[in-house]
Amino acid sequence: MIIKFQSRDTWVVFGEVNHVEYSDIGYNPHDCAVRSEVIVFESPNNQAAQGKWIAMGFFTKNMDEPKEIIACTPIYLMNDQGKTIEVI
């Protein structure tokens, strides 16, 4: 599986994802404290007013611990061939 989203004006892609969990956090992570191991991405071109902030945890190939991120929607979940299977 592939996870793809935009941070400012750059596309961020995580590949070889084996398992993903996500939830709407309901607040802007830049306005409060977030654990240091969580990577917080910027919203795409100030889109946070329109999008939702999503917390995601996922495993990629050969990982023992999940990577934890917070990103702004839309977030694309794609199969290994790059076809979108879900838009968050």
Domain boundaries, the chain: 2-87
Q: Give 46-88 pLDDT, tens digit per residue.
A: 665 677 999 999 998 888 889 999 999 999 999 999 999 999 9
| pLDDT at 50 (0 to 100) | 72
Neighbour-count burial for 11-24, b at 16+ CB within 10 Å, e otherwise: ebebeebeebebee
For residue 17, give the amino acid letter.
Answer: V
pLDDT greater at residue 45 or residue 21 = 21
**Residues forming a β-bridge with 75:** 5
The model carries a pTM of 0.88
Average pLDDT in the chain: 90
- Beta carbons of 32 and 60 less than 8 angstroms apart: no
